[in-house]
């Protein structure tokens, strides 16, 4: 309890300071928000090209030739990765670690967003057939060749077999059927989808596993696989295809990666990349500690919250770093209520029937939505470097439904909606439901993320203005995930999802009723066939049809409607979309910031020039 109080007090002090200093900083912030640090002023990223040398199909960097050696130090918030198995990852930190070590068949052009080859040398798409030509002669980090057998094994045995996190598998189920994958020869595979499926090519960015390493784990069953390549695994047991492989993991302190000497990307002198010897992620407890470590020179990169941007822009003039504006964030922050009406194995409701009545009430959810002061949050938490958000698609999404108009906080509207459902207020302004139950619930977020904690403080106040009693409880991330995904024992939460402005199907696991991230009405395996709300049924239909449609205009029609449903039903209440501001040390070269890729999307090409 002391820790929670300490965080809340700190946040209130920070918010008060923001209000006091905002006038002085407003011009600086306005310059940034209006893109005076513009992405189009950055150098255009030179895309790699295929070259064949001594029968090996390399990917050749077209960036300026750099110097080998040195270390790049980044950071993560929280307790660190939960696994190093790319197929078990269910959190952003673990996924980041996995992406460093394992490449997929394809990737995304960080400038245009188009799908480009990675482990694949090329690909051909013909209606439902996807022919993938692998690079000949490239190797795993242990020197073994990367072949079609690895691709077949990964997709057929791991992904289609339902091992680990089934998000990828669930995302490629088409009308209840999985695609097939067949080996044509040692370096050619063919995927066949049951129907034309627009997102499928992009889904081939999923990591490929070395069959000779993973096969024994698959043979021992799913329970064993769930613990395979855990954070307790010795570094020498990892065999990877990415630019780096793990060298050391010290729990709650750091993850250290070293260069993969067999990496298949080379420079224009045909020397194998990456340039850097090491990539280090320091595990920091919270954002304030992260800022202190950057200012102290311990970190080379930091993603800045709005409250820190103006100060860093002033420091930039006399420091060894540059502040980059890379446009709207591709992720979303939201508030969700637990709408679950089912019971656990012991017959106990996950959510009390009294709270079920509130959270399942559309009027109640809309009342909460209209009570949220997004503009105040943008002004005081993001320091003006954000825009209020009302849909699941981010402001830079090509599928954004622009017909869904924003609105301001309106307590009168909230009260009207609550009255419709029989809620009333006593003489002290306390809110009660029609059965005379005091409206009181817990609001969670992950401790250490000061932005979400600050949002929680404001949400608590906004809802207490309606007479609700809100118990705000920031808790450790692992404990929070366990509540959301395993015990289902929670009331309301502030969380975030990563996303893509290019492909809504990545959110299939959030919006399909049987999705593993269907957070507002999470179904455990025993509950998958349970009754769905009417709007859930419609979302299932829209997400299925949106993926099956091939033309953009046809797809957008379905995804426009899904956004409209979320906008009206409020299973998730979106908060704001921040502008991504990153500070990076000037000693690093080959830096090509993009909205899609960030600042270090080409980590293998980045080098140090003192």
Same domain, 142 and 202: yes
Q: Where are the alpha helices (DSSP H) in 317-402?
A: 353-359, 362-371, 374-380
Q: Are residues 183 and 97 in the same domain?
A: yes
pTM: 0.82
Least trusted range by pLDDT, from 19-23, 63-67, 420-424, 605-609? 19-23
pLDDT at residue 171 above 90?
no
Cis peptide before 81, with omega less than 30 degrees from 0?
A: no
SS (H, E, C) 498-533: CCCCCCHHHHHHHHCCCCCCCHHHCCCHHHCCCCCC
Per residue in 85-108, pLDDT (tens digit) is 999 998 888 999 999 999 999 999
C-beta separation of 477 from 285 below 8 A: no
Q: What is the pLDDT of residue 62?
A: 97
Q: Is residue 53 part of a domain?
A: no
Question: Final residue of a domain: which of 196, 226, 256?
Answer: 226
> How does DSSP classify residue 64?
P
Model confidence band, residue 41 (pLDDT cutoffs 50, 70, 90): low
Domain membership of residue 143 (yes or no) is yes
Residue 135 lies in a domain: yes
Instruction: Tell which of 192, 226, 260 closes a domain.
Output: 226
pLDDT at 345: 86
58 lies in some domain: no
- CATH code for the domain in which residue 20 is found: 3.40.190.10
Split at pLDDT 50, 70, 90, the class of 166 is confident
Specify the number of domains making up the chain: 3
The C-alpha atoms of residue 161 and residue 157 are separated, in whole angstroms, by 5
Does residue 263 register a pLDDT over 70?
yes
What is the span of the domain harbouring residue 538?
330-578
The values of phi and psi at residue 22, to 5°, are -65, -40
CA dist 72 to 163, 422, 527, 603, 605, Å?
33, 58, 45, 9, 12
pLDDT tens string 352-385: 999 999 999 999 999 999 999 999 999 999 888 8
The string of pLDDT tens digits covering residues 475-516 is: 988 889 899 989 999 999 999 988 888 889 888 889 999 888
**According to the model, what pLDDT value does residue 391 have?**
95
What's the rounded Cα separation, in Å, for the pair 289 and 282? 11
Calculate mean pLDDT across residues 309-331. Answer: 92
Cα separation, 516 vs 158, whole angstroms: 17
Distances 610 to 55, 281, 589 between C-alpha atoms, Å: 36, 21, 10
CB count within 10 Å of CB 97 equals: 26
Please answer whether residues 38 and 406 qualify as being in contact, where contact means their C-beta atoms are separated by less than 8 angstroms. no
Neighbours of 198 (CB within 10 A): 17
Q: Indicate the pLDDT class of residue 526, thresholds 50, 70 and 90.
A: confident
Whether 570 and 584 share a structural domain: no
Q: Is the pLDDT of residue 19 over 80?
A: no
For residue 467, being part of any structural domain is answered with: yes
Exposed e or buried b for every residue in 248-262, given b needs 16+ CB within 10 A?
A: ebeeeebbbbbbbeb
Q: Do residues 297 and 193 share a domain? A: no
d(CA 78, CA 264): 33
User: What would the pLDDT profile of 376-431 be if each residue is shown by its tens digit?
Assistant: 999 999 888 889 999 999 888 899 999 999 999 999 999 999 999 999 999 999 99
Least Cα distance to 488 among 336, 591, 321 occurs for 336
Residue 138 structure tokens: 């490239």
Q: Are residues 337 and 440 in the same domain?
A: yes
Q: Is the pLDDT of residue 26 over 50?
A: no
What is the mean pLDDT of the segment spanning 107-136? 95
Question: 514: which residues sit within 8 A by CB, 6+ positions away?
Answer: 170, 523, 528
* Predicted confidence (pLDDT) at residue 296 exceeds the cutoff of 50: yes
- pLDDT at position 77: 86
Per the domain annotation, does 191 fall within a domain?
Answer: yes
Please check the confidence at residue 545 and state whether its pLDDT lies above 60: yes
Least trusted range by pLDDT, from 40-49, 367-376, 509-518, 559-568: 40-49
**Together in a domain, 364 and 483:** yes
Interatomic CA distance for residues 169 and 189, integer angstroms:
18
Strands 440-446 and 301-304, sheet pairing: unpaired
DSSP character string of 124-157: EEETTEEEEEEPTT-B-TTSPBP-HHHHHIIIII
Query: What confidence score (pLDDT) does residue 375 get?
Result: 95
pLDDT tens figures, 271-287: 999 999 999 999 998 88
User: What pLDDT sits at residue 38?
Assistant: 41
- My answer on whether 353 and 320 are in the same domain is no
303 alpha carbon, distance to own chain's centre? 14
Q: What is the dihedral of CA 390, 396, 398, 400, to 10 degrees?
A: 10
Residue 237 has pLDDT above 90, yes or no: yes
Over 80: is that where the pLDDT of 2 sits? no
469 close to 30: Cβ distance less than 8 angstroms: no
Is the same domain home to 450 and 314?
no
Closest CA to 78 of 297, 252, 208, 212: 252
Q: Whole-number mean pLDDT of the chain?
A: 90
User: The dihedral of CA 53, 56, 61, 65: what is its sign?
Assistant: negative
Question: Same structural domain for residues 488 and 522?
Answer: yes
Residues 530-551, buried b or exposed e (16+ Cβ, 10 A)? eeebebbeebbebbbbbbbbee
HSE-up of 114 (CA within 13 Å, CB side)? 4
The strand pair at 492-497 and 440-446 is best described as parallel
How confident is the model over 431-448, as a mean pLDDT?
96
Inform me whether the pLDDT recorded for 23 exceeds 70: no
* Separation between Cα atoms, residue 558 and residue 401, nearest integer Å: 10
DSSP string, 395-438: TT-TT--TTS------HHHHHHHHHHTT-EE-TT--EE-TTS-B
d(CA 543, CA 384): 34
204 falls within a domain? yes
Q: Are 366 and 358 in contact (CB under 8 A)?
A: no
Residue 534: pLDDT band with limits 50, 70, 90? very high
Considering the domain architecture, whether residues 131 and 276 belong to the same structural domain is answered as no
CATH code of 511's domain:
3.10.105.10
Query: Can you tell me the mean pLDDT for 170-197?
Result: 94
- Can you tell me whether residue 541 is helix, strand or coil? helix
Q: Is the pLDDT of residue 329 over 70?
A: yes
> What is residue 29's predicted lDDT score, i.e. its pLDDT?
36
Q: What is the pLDDT of residue 396?
A: 85
Q: Does 498 map to a domain?
A: yes
Mean pLDDT for 542-565 is 93
Tokens of 97: 């670690």
CATH (domain of 81)? 3.90.76.10
What residues contact residue 24 under an 8 Å CB cut-off, 6+ apart? none
- Structural tokens at position 43: 């150098």
Looking at the structure, tell me whether residues 397 and 504 fall in a common domain: yes
Residues 465 and 504 in one domain: yes
The percent of residues in the chain predicted with pLDDT above 90, rounded, is: 75
């Amino acid at each position: 309890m002391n820790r929670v109080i300490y965080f809340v007090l700190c946040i209130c002090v920070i918010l008060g300071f923001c209000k006091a200093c905002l006038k002085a900083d407003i011009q600086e912030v306005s310059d940034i928000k209006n893109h005076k640090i513009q992405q189009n002023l950055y150098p255009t990223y030179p895309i790699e090209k295929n070259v064949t040398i001594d029968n090996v199909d390399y990917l050749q960097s077209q960036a300026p030739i750099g110097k080998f050696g040195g270390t790049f130090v980044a950071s993560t918030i929280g307790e660190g990765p939960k696994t190093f198995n790319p197929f078990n990852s269910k959190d952003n930190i673990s996924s980041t670690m996995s992406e460093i070590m394992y490449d997929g068949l394809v990737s995304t052009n960080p400038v245009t967003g188009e799908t480009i080859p990675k482990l694949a040398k090329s690909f051909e798409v013909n209606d439902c057939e996807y022919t993938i030509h692998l690079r000949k002669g490239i190797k795993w980090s242990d020197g073994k060749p990367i072949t079609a057998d690895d691709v077949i094994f990964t997709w057929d045995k791991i992904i289609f077999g339902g091992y680990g996190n089934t998000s990828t598998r669930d995302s490629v189920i088409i009308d209840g059927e999985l695609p097939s994958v067949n080996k044509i020869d040692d370096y050619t595979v063919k995927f066949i989808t049951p129907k034309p499926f627009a997102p499928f090519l992009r889904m081939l960015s999923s990591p490929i596993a070395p069959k000779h390493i993973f096969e024994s784990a698959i043979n021992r069953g799913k329970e064993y696989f769930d613990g395979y390549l855990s954070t307790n695994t010795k570094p020498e047991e990892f065999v990877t295809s990415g630019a780096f492989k793990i060298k050391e993991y010290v729990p709650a302190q750091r993850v250290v990666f070293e260069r993969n000497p067999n990496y298949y990307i080379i420079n224009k002198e045909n020397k194998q990349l990456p340039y850097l010897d090491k990539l280090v992620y320091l595990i920091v407890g919270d954002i304030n500690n992260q800022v202190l470590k950057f200012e102290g020179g311990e970190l080379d990169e930091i993603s800045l919250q709005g409250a820190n941007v103006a100060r860093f822009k002033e420091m930039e003039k006399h420091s060894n770093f540059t502040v980059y504006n890379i446009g709207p964030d591709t992720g979303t922050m939201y508030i969700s209520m637990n709408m679950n009406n089912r019971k656990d194995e012991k017959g106990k409701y996950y959510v009390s029937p009294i709270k079920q009545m509130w959270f399942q009430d559309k009027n109640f959810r809309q009342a909460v939505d209209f009570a949220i002061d997004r503009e105040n949050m943008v002004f005081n938490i993001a320091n003006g470097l954000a825009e209020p958000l009302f849909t699941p698609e981010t402001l830079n999404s090509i599928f954004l439904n622009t017909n869904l108009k924003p609105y301001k906080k309106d307590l009168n509207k909230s009260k009207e909606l609550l009255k419709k459902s029989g809620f009333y207020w006593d003489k002290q302004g306390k809110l009660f439901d029609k059965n005379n139950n005091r409206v009181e619930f817990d609001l969670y977020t992950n401790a250490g993320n000061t932005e979400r904690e600050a949002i929680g403080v404001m949400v608590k106040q906004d809802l207490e203005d309606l007479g609700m009693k809100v118990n705000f409880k920031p808790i450790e991330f692992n404990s929070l995930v366990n509540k959301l995904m395993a015990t289902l024992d929670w009331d309301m939460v502030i969380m975030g999802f990563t996303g893509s402005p290019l492909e809504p199907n990545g959110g299939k696991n959030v919006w399909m009723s049987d999705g593993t991230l269907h957070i507002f009405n999470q179904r455990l395996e025993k509950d998958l066939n349970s009754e769905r709300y009417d709007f859930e049924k419609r979302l299932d239909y829209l997400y299925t049809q949106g993926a099956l449609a091939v033309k953009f205009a046809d797809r957008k029609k379905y995804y426009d409607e899904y956004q409209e449903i979320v906008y009206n039903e409020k299973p998730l209440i979106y908060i704001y979309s921040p502008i991504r501001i990153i500070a990076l040390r000037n000693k690093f070269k080959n830096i090509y910031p993009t909205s899609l890729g960030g600042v270090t999307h080409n980590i293998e090409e980045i080098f140090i020039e003192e």
